[in-house]
Structure 1
Amino acid sequence: MYYRVLRINVENGNWYIKEYDGNEIIGPVDLGIHIHEELKTWEKDVFDPSNAVIIGTGLFAGSKLFGTHRLVVVFRSPESRTLHVAAMGGAAYRFIGCGVHAIVIEGRSSKPSIIFVKGNENGVEHVKIEYIDPEELEKIYSGYGEYIGAYALQKYLMDKYWDYIYSTKARPLVVGPAALKTVYGAIVSIDIDFNKKSFIIGSEDFAARGGAGSVLAQAHNVVAIIAGGNWKPQLPKDLIESIALNELFKRIAGKDFVSLVNEATVKYRYDPNIGAGGTFGVNYPHYRELLPLFNFNTMYLPKHIRKKIIDILLENFWKPFKEETYAKGKWTMTTCGEPCPAACKKIWRGKKLDYEPTNGLGPYIGVLELDKTAKLVDLADQLGYDAIVAGHLVAWLFEAVYKGLLDPSDIGLNDRPIMDPMIMNIEILSKNAELAEILLKNIVNHSTEVLKIIATKGIRMAAKYLDEKYMDRIKKIGVKFEDLVVYLPYGDQGYMTPNFYWTPGFLLPLAVTGKYWTNYTSTFTEPEEFAKTVAIRAIKEYEIENAGLCRFHRGWAEKNLSQLYSLIGINIDIDKHAKSMYQKIALYSIKAGAKPRFLESEKAKDVILTLSVEFNVSEWMGKYIKDREATIREWWSRAGKAFAQQMELSQDWIE
């Protein structure tokens, strides 16, 4: 089995195909690490044209295995300043037809460019590049076909190149204005109904974390990729015929494949104990008082107060979703774009709602009305933001205004948002939604000097800039800008904001964070004990991502992945392989000057501290009371060293 790769230089239009031995490169993350090592991209600026964007599938793409058509993107992040991985569901189902497992984009186009790749039964038939004038692109982003931003660009491409898209059954990958104007840009793709020449609502997805779209747009001047065709990778009968696949799983797992998948994906399809499914449907009633709301400020409140807030949230925010999405006889849900019984994409009033974007642009910024939140998520999606970081941005700036570190006019607002979770009045809080809509647009438009810095430098460097600019305000109020936002620092400039879970798992010294390559449960244990669970998940999540597998299928996939690889002629210890590749990411981080550092945000430190109180861990609570800073550093350092030991990282990983 070979991993087939198309390398394109968009500066001169040259391209070639290379095949990598499947026992060395077994997936897109492996390839991304290899390419970035080869190019020594740690030596260059993050927006240098050498910062290759690797977009690829796993080796099981094209099979009948559910969940194996995730499209994975590897790049050097303008946020963390080290290697990062982002992925979108379902897009590889169309992409694999282009004739290769992965495309590598290098060089910088002189004009905004669109890459076309067409595959036939023998592989890649042709590669071409077309251009779009910047003025025309700006006009499209402003509004086309009832959409704006990335959605408008995809609609424009569908209208202009429909014959090509239809004949190749391609699913365009595009970027929005957030990718061109900020470091928070996503790569966006919406699946297409080829019979109706329209979007399939709910099947939109995003390779977003870390700013993948920003690198594609700003390092390479590529705004769209249209890749498809009828190439089919050669896979064994057991993986491409449904009857044979079911027999295979009866042998290796004791159950037919569909039954195994249905059992493993209950949460994402429909949990009868909750009466809902999907991450949005399950997380709110499951995590309840452990949900981070109001820019993590709810973690400072006693549990009985948080319970009241959650009760309000469940009644007014979650219940409307449950009642309408699961209305009798007309469940509104779909898949990410590949055949899958989980149908995890739940649609409410025409908008797909997943937990992270909805929480980030809802309760996390003080908006407790679902209709207003859905509108904000849609705006962030169309502008082409990473919706998770968009939530952090808005919450951070809202609290900075609320506390007096910023005037509303500093960020183009004409009113002050409310960021006090004790104000349990939905109507009073509703103005936050209106202000968030203005702010999301203002960041992309660089509407003020402050927002231009925030858009182009990233949260951490912008916070340092604001600390200097508004030193008098800081002295008066007694809090710095970085103290109001949660992130893990990398080197002198990099950082990564966490996913929306109250856990130390996203704030440990990990080579890759902001993703689920960690233990993200809300718990507090001895640091060494917790670190062991983080190391296990880092290895397993690497394997799932590298296989192009949806992590919603991890329940069945992790147990059977080695045997599935053996079917295609790859016989390696995948745990050992994943650990060795993770070590390479860590070594890259050292070369790039982007090792993780101890927390510098007081709120980030509190994420760890407050959990010891939440779970009544008396020994650590006592230490915190005696010496807060030293105790947090002790727990963090011990956990970090234990993780480094488990992963066999270099001795200087933790300083």
Structure 2
Amino acid sequence: MILLEIDVGKNKVEKQEIDASGPLEAAITIHKKYETWRLDPLSPEAPIVFGMGPFVGGKLYGVHRLIFVFKSPQTKTLHVSALGGAAYKAMGMGAQAVAIRGRAEKPAAVFIANGQVEFAEVKPSDAYNLIKELYETRRDFFIQNDARALVVGPASWTTYNGAIVSVDIDVKKGEFRMGAEDFAARGGPGTALAQGHNVVAIVVGGPKKPLYEKVADAEAINQLFRQRLGKPYLDVLNEKTVKYRYDPKIGTGGTFGVNYPHYRDLLPLFGYKSIYMPKEERIKHADLVLELFWKPFQVEVFEKAKSWYNCGEPCPVVCKKVWRGKKVDYESFHAAGPFIGNYLFQEAVPVIDEIDKLGLDAIEMGHVVAWLFDAIYTGLLKPEEVGLDDVPAFDPSSFDPVKDSRRNARLALMLVRNFVNNSTDVLSLVAKHGIRKAARELERRYADRVRERGVRFRDLAVYAAYGAEGYMTPNFYWAPGLVAPMYVLGRYWTNYNPTFMSPEDFAKTSYERAVAEALVDNAGICRFHRGWAEPVLKELYQLVGARPPAALYREIAYYAKLSGAEPMPWESKRTRDLVSALAKELGSKEWRFEDYDDYYEWWVRFKEALDKLILA
């Protein structure tokens, strides 16, 4: 594959051919070359690599994700984040992958099309305004190359939690395309790009043509699917993506539409405090969430407007459900909704708007807000220490779903802005270091409060630890696999079902899922399409004269060990309780988790089983 290595400090571009089957394999090669495990995640010499899989531009759908791989300022090891649809515009940039190195003297934008690279000084701004300004100042580039911008927002300059933001533009009209907005967010890729390289934006475009002729051969693709799965391609696609498009059996679709009625009382509420509630109480709260949070979306998006779109590539799944111009996904809206004690859908919209414009990872921001809300509610912090004028309502048992939702949403909006502005000493600490390291410092700083309240700051958060300082918060599911000792978390590289089993069996199912997800990412395929893609991935690679790489996950695990960022035992009581409460909920008799030794044994046995599988 062709890789462009761009040194933004020297305005130098090197085009090279490397032996890699996709962006993830290419990135591992580059990070090994520069031995970046030795470097700080924000070092200019630690590249951020992004690219596409080999199947772009043809007759396959859902294959146009841009994959970002970087040393994460949050986990302190390699992390992988994906941005939907953008490879449809990037396929003409003249390379399958790009590595950004060095540090620009002034905030810079990089324009890439047809193998050519240009540099320009750009003033940072909020993410959406920045995209509009780039279009207005470089309209010719956008039109000639049908280009798409990838930008960072203010959060990337002041926090560890910056995302890369992209909204596709109709280049002739200069208007944002409805639903075609997405974020490479988990792990802080925007922070790595901004603070490490002083890059504000990357604009990609060029002539749209397949990298390989065979992926444009509809008959060859259909023959492959008939031989392997007994049906033509589109029949298999429609069958395997029904959840994300529209499921007539339940009358809804997309992650937001499906997850709330599906998970119901297993939804994590109030920073995972719902795991302590009896089932009948959780059901009452789930019913409130369905009525106040899910139903307004359901009525407008599915019963009235039917506003369904795709992410910017021509894809029939139209998984993007849009409410009055705002793309709605489960993860982001849950972060600004029930997870922080807000059950009113419309109250979540301005919070998510602000998170998106500032360029934050919404999932992580949900965890930060819930953690700080709980710290105030518990008495470990005072509202004014994080710039708030009131105490959040963070007790599920006395929660008023209307009045308290409005209060919490208002405070969340204040807190998000204060966090990005580093407006208090406490928020500056959290914004610089993240939850894990900040919790330790706050326990030292407020030792008297910790003793008086009998609870530590870290015990109110849910996260998996890496090495001495790294960590990752889970996606919003009540699932032990999301905090298990896996080498990449924060995405779905694990068994993320609400289930429980012996550590050895859990490690096996998590490892199998991680390997499959890594291969899908390396192929640049949207995971909403994994149902049809995974069974035929080997054959798809044969179409382009390649094969799926066998050791991706092993390489990532080895990198984590070299970085000193291996998974570490659970530090937080609520993280441990997430595991034990679900084991109890599901009636586990072998694992009762009566003391810390039980948790430690399960964790160690999982880790040992996983490492054996990796080396097998």
What TM-score does the superposition give when structure 2 sets the normalisation length? 0.98
Map of 1:586 onto structure 2: 557
Q: Is the 8 A contact 2:54 2:211 kept in 1?
A: no
2:2 aligned partner, one-letter code: R
Matches within 5 A, 1:412-427: 412-427=387-402
Q: Deviations for 1:500-546, whole angstroms, at most 9, x for unmatched residues? A: 11111111111111110000000111111111110110110111000
1:614 aligned partner, one-letter code: E
Q: Is the 8 A contact 1:10 1:107 kept in 2?
A: yes
240-249 or 153-162, which moves further after superposition?
Answer: 240-249
- Which of these residues, 377, 387, 394, is aligned with residue 362 of structure 2? 387
Q: Is the 8 A contact 1:116 1:227 kept in 2?
A: yes
2:87 aligned partner, one-letter code: A
* Pair 494,391 (structure 1): closer, same or farther in 2 beyond 3 Å: same
Map of 1:9 onto structure 2: 7
Q: Is the 8 A contact 1:394 1:439 kept in 2?
A: yes
How far residue 492 of structure 1 moved from its aligned partner, in angstroms, is: 0.7
Q: The residue matched to 2:438 in structure 1 has which SS? A: helix
Q: Deviations for 1:318-359, whole angstroms, at most 9, x for unmatched residues? A: 11111110125x410100111111110001122111011111
Q: The residue matched to 2:396 in structure 1 has which SS? A: coil
How far residue 231 of structure 1 moved from its aligned partner, in angstroms, is: 5.5
How far residue 252 of structure 1 moved from its aligned partner, in angstroms, is: 3.6
- Which of these residues, 231, 240, 250, is aligned with residue 255 of structure 1? 231
Q: The residue matched to 2:18 in structure 1 has which SS? A: strand
Matches within 5 A, 1:231-310: 232-237=209-214, 239-242=215-218, 244-310=220-286
Q: Is the 8 A contact 2:252 2:258 kept in 1?
A: yes
- Which of these residues, 121, 135, 148, is aligned with residue 171 of structure 1? 148
Q: The residue matched to 1:103 in structure 2 has which SS? A: strand
Map of 1:362 onto structure 2: 337
Map of 2:373 onto structure 1: 398
1:88 and 2:83 are equivalent in the alignment: yes
Distance 1:512 1:620 in 2: 25
How far residue 247 of structure 1 moved from its aligned partner, in angstroms, is: 4.2
1:166 aligned partner, one-letter code: I
Matches within 5 A, 1:175-186: 175-186=152-163
Q: Deviations for 1:273-294, whole angstroms, at most 9, x for unmatched residues? A: 2211000000000011111110
What TM-score does the superposition give when structure 1 sets the normalisation length? 0.92
Q: Deviations for 1:216-246, whole angstroms, at most 9, x for unmatched residues? A: 0000000001111116344134x21445533
- Which of these residues, 580, 587, 596, is aligned with residue 609 of structure 1? 580
Map of 1:630 onto structure 2: 597
Distance 1:202 1:283 in 2: 19
1:69 and 2:69 are equivalent in the alignment: no
Q: Is the 8 A contact 2:224 2:539 kept in 1?
A: no
Unaligned residue ranges in structure 2 (runs of 5+): none
Map of 1:107 onto structure 2: 102
2:269 aligned partner, one-letter code: L
Q: Is the 8 A contact 1:506 1:513 kept in 2?
A: yes
Q: Is the 8 A contact 2:88 2:208 kept in 1?
A: no
Map of 2:200 onto structure 1: 223
Map of 1:542 onto structure 2: 518
How far residue 80 of structure 1 moved from its aligned partner, in angstroms, is: 0.4
Map of 1:471 onto structure 2: 447
Distance 1:378 1:243 in 2: 44
Distance 1:246 1:428 in 2: 55
Matches within 5 A, 1:292-331: 292-328=268-304, 330-331=305-306
Q: Is the 8 A contact 1:411 1:447 kept in 2?
A: yes
Q: Is the 8 A contact 1:398 1:417 kept in 2?
A: yes
Map of 1:194 onto structure 2: 171
Distance 2:194 2:136 in 1: 22
Q: Is the 8 A contact 1:236 1:567 kept in 2?
A: no
Distance 2:232 2:174 in 1: 36
Distance 2:300 2:112 in 1: 41
Distance 1:335 1:619 in 2: 46
Q: The residue matched to 2:182 in structure 1 has which SS? A: strand
Map of 1:619 onto structure 2: 590
Q: Deviations for 1:593-628, whole angstroms, at most 9, x for unmatched residues? A: 11110000111010101011111112323xx2xx32
Distance 1:370 1:242 in 2: 42
Q: Is the 8 A contact 1:511 1:586 kept in 2?
A: yes
Distance 1:644 1:166 in 2: 50
1:342 and 2:340 are equivalent in the alignment: no
Distance 2:224 2:556 in 1: 35
Q: Percent identity?
A: 47
Distance 1:531 1:189 in 2: 35
2:12 aligned partner, one-letter code: N
Q: Deviations for 1:27-78, whole angstroms, at most 9, x for unmatched residues? A: 1111111111111111121111011000100111222211100000000000
Distance 2:403 2:374 in 1: 16
Q: Deviations for 1:120-153, whole angstroms, at most 9, x for unmatched residues? A: xxxx1x2111112xxx43xxx3xxxxxxx10111
How far residue 360 of structure 1 moved from its aligned partner, in angstroms, is: 1.1
2:369 aligned partner, one-letter code: V
How far residue 248 of structure 1 moved from its aligned partner, in angstroms, is: 4.1
1:481 and 2:450 are equivalent in the alignment: no
Map of 1:144 onto structure 2: none
Map of 1:127 onto structure 2: 117
How far residue 117 of structure 1 moved from its aligned partner, in angstroms, is: 1.1
How far residue 629 of structure 1 moved from its aligned partner, in angstroms, is: 0.9
Map of 1:146 onto structure 2: none
Distance 1:234 1:116 in 2: 20
Distance 1:401 1:314 in 2: 28
* Pair 234,630 (structure 1): closer, same or farther in 2 beyond 3 Å: closer
- Which of these residues, 558, 568, 573, is aligned with residue 597 of structure 1? 568
Map of 1:160 onto structure 2: 137
1:434 aligned partner, one-letter code: R
Q: Deviations for 1:621-654, whole angstroms, at most 9, x for unmatched residues? A: 3xx2xx32111111121122112212228xxxxx
Q: Is the 8 A contact 2:142 2:171 kept in 1?
A: no
Distance 1:231 1:195 in 2: 17
Q: Is the 8 A contact 1:165 1:171 kept in 2?
A: yes
How far residue 560 of structure 1 moved from its aligned partner, in angstroms, is: 0.5
Q: CA RMSD in A?
A: 1.3
2:614 aligned partner, one-letter code: M
Q: Deviations for 1:380-436, whole angstroms, at most 9, x for unmatched residues? A: 011100110010000000000011000001000010001111234222312000000
1:197 aligned partner, one-letter code: G
1:378 and 2:353 are equivalent in the alignment: yes
Q: Is the 8 A contact 1:353 1:374 kept in 2?
A: no
Distance 2:203 2:42 in 1: 23
Distance 1:609 1:412 in 2: 35
Q: Is the 8 A contact 2:31 2:46 kept in 1?
A: yes
1:558 and 2:534 are equivalent in the alignment: yes
Q: The residue matched to 1:172 in structure 2 has which SS? A: strand
Count of paired positions: 615
Q: Is the 8 A contact 1:309 1:424 kept in 2?
A: no
